[in-house]
Amino acid sequence: MTTGNIVKMFTELGDVVQYTLPIGQKKIAMNPLIGKPISLTYTGIINCVNCGKKTNKSYSQGHCFKCMKTLASCDMCIMKPETCHYEQGTCREPDWGLAHCMKPHFVYLANSSGLKVGITRETQIPTRWMDQGAVEALPIAKVQTRLQVGLMEVAFKDHINDKTNWRKMLQNDLVEVDIQAKRDELFEVCKKEITDLQDKFGESNITLVEDAALVKIQYPVLEYPEKVKSFNFDKTPEVSGLLKGIKGQYLILDSGVLNLRKFTGYELTIDA
């Protein structure tokens, strides 16, 4: 039995994804628990992942209200990178922006609940794909800033979905897609938008990736649910069941599914 505040599970790409849950000062290897009963209980305490203070409600995945309102990492431009305003000199935390937003980013295609387009920092490949439960992923463009990647995603998502249907992802309800062929189609249909961005920022800063290898990802799942029932610690403080598998940041139990990332900063007791 272990008690502590949690953050999202760490992932490692292998034959199957390896999951580790940080809880307090400990780290629990989750893969060996698959096929066994597990119980998770919310103690009623939430601590801000930034300042550590207790908060009655979690904002922006584990922050207190004050930190949510003041941190650059909680700004709207994180959700809508095409609105990045670092170069305007109005970033809340310029040093943070320089370290996180003024860095190389990739546009990618992935199949999690169907084909989607997404973006991520170079340092978050392949973590981002595993967190989303993608079974296949392919980098298709590299740019030099978050603003650039946001503008490129805007151009692409007029032609392709940018959301994951988390229920279909957890049911493994997938449609086979030739991602490399779709990449080529996307390049062709968005040729003008790509050229406009290259003219604006320079061809060396907006680079199409045409030779990347397709990454395939397997998850440690014994059985996918036919119907998806999700748990919420704010409504059900104790969740238990047989752990059937893990995909994305979800625990798949025989009693329902639990998105652990949603409860970042919550203090839990885990008995497994």
pLDDT in tens, the chain (272 residues): 899 999 999 999 999 999 999 999 999 999 999 999 999 999 999 999 999 999 999 999 999 999 999 999 999 999 999 999 998 999 999 999 999 999 999 999 999 988 999 999 999 999 999 999 999 999 999 999 999 999 999 999 989 988 889 999 999 988 889 999 999 999 999 999 999 999 999 999 999 999 999 999 999 999 999 999 999 999 999 999 999 999 999 999 999 999 999 999 999 999 98
pLDDT computed for residue 91 by the predictor:
93
Establish if 206 belongs to a structural domain. Answer: yes
pLDDT computed for residue 173 by the predictor:
86
Establish if 97 belongs to a structural domain. Answer: no
Q: What is the DSSP letter of 202?
A: -
Comparing CA positions, the residue from 27, 29, 35 lying closest to residue 17 is 29
87: left (phi over 0), alpha (psi -120 to 50) or beta: alpha
What is the identity of the amino acid at 38? Answer: I
pLDDT computed for residue 68 by the predictor:
95
Domain extent, residue 39, equals 2-67+227-271
Same domain assignment for residues 209 and 238: no
pLDDT computed for residue 174 by the predictor:
85
Cβ neighbours around 209 below 10 Å, total: 14
The angle that helices 191-201 and 179-189 make with each other, rounded to 10 degrees, is 70
Establish if 197 belongs to a structural domain. Answer: yes
Q: How many angstroms separate the CA atoms of 48 and 38, rounded? A: 26
Q: Decide: 149 and 139 in contact? Cβ < 8 Å.
A: no
Kindly state the tokens that stand for 90. Answer: 């109005």
Same domain assignment for residues 60 and 117: no
pLDDT computed for residue 162 by the predictor:
86
Same domain assignment for residues 32 and 108: no
45 phi and psi, to 5 degrees?
-110, 135
Beta-carbon contacts of 8 under 8 Å, excluding residues fewer than 6 positions away, are 131, 249, 260, 261, 264
**Residue 76: C-alpha distances to residues 60, 73, 240 (Å):** 10, 9, 35
Establish if 80 belongs to a structural domain. Answer: no
Kindly state the tokens that stand for 60. Answer: 């922006």
